[in-house]
A and B are shown apart, each in its own frame.
Chain A
């Protein structure tokens, strides 16, 4: 079965700082990868996803993520964060042919942006 690790549980940054949130997965086959975000008081919503093609994917609100197969990683980046990026960020994976169509989520990273 696949698993997802998010190593940073809490991150505090100042506005305009650059952001990188780590995500590593364990599965030897083909994977589909997702980043979801939950803003305070709101539902989980999709930031971006990768399932094939260019390993550098761009999402909403200036976020991007890079799939590095050799490192089993899918890190989330943003060059300059804003106060409104304060939220919980979840990395998720689904394994193709793994017999499971549900998503496997990491524990999440709580990001706080200080004005």
Chain B
């Protein structure tokens, strides 16, 4: 399977700890997106990369959140000093081209539980 992969699939942490998630996009996809989804809601956009450049960040992305895509391939999303409100499914998506109309292919997500 050559789809978008995310690791870990599940993460349980205690409040105040730092966590890091990884996303591997489909090979040669230029854009990579991060979304967050809480129970009963649709995905909410967090940020996206075009190759290695982070082009847009949502207001949802507080200072405790940081994302990188150092070589334009995989990406990491780090949450520092986690809070219970950070509990959610974190989704990654990638697309091939540079247009907003290009199809975004989603990964399975990382479910974060903050105790």
Contacts and interface: CB of A to CB of B under 8 A. Distances in A.
Interface string A65-81: 00000000000000000
A55 B73 CA distance: 36
Contact of A43 (B47, B100, B103, B106): B106
B101 A102 contact: no
A96 to B, nearest CB: 7
A44 B45 contact: no
Given A32-B100, A32-B101, A49-B103, A43 B3 contact: yes
A32 B99 CA distance: 11
A44 B93 CA distance: 9
Contacts of A43: 3-4, 106-109
A90 B43 contact: yes
Contact of B56 (A32, A102, A105, A107): A102
A24 interface: no
Contacts of A4: 42
Contacts of A45: 105-106
A94 interface: yes
Contacts of B33: 102-103
A92 interface: yes
Contacts of B107: 43
Contact of B42 (A51, A102, A108): A108
Interface string B1-35: 00110000000000000000000000000010101
Ordered nearest first, which 6 A-B pairs have the shortest CB separation?
A102-B45, A105-B42, A44-B106, A51-B101, A101-B100, A43-B106
20 contacts: A4-B42, A32-B101, A44-B43, A45-B106, A46-B104, A46-B105, A49-B103, A100-B56, A100-B58, A101-B31, A101-B48, A101-B55, A101-B100, A102-B35, A102-B58, A103-B45, A103-B104, A104-B45, A106-B42, A108-B42
Interface of B: 3-4, 31, 33, 35, 40-48, 55-56, 58, 91, 93, 100-101, 103-109
Given A32-B101, A101-B31, A105-B44, 13 more contacts: A4-B42, A43-B3, A43-B4, A44-B91, A46-B105, A49-B101, A49-B103, A96-B100, A102-B45, A102-B56, A104-B45, A106-B42, A107-B42
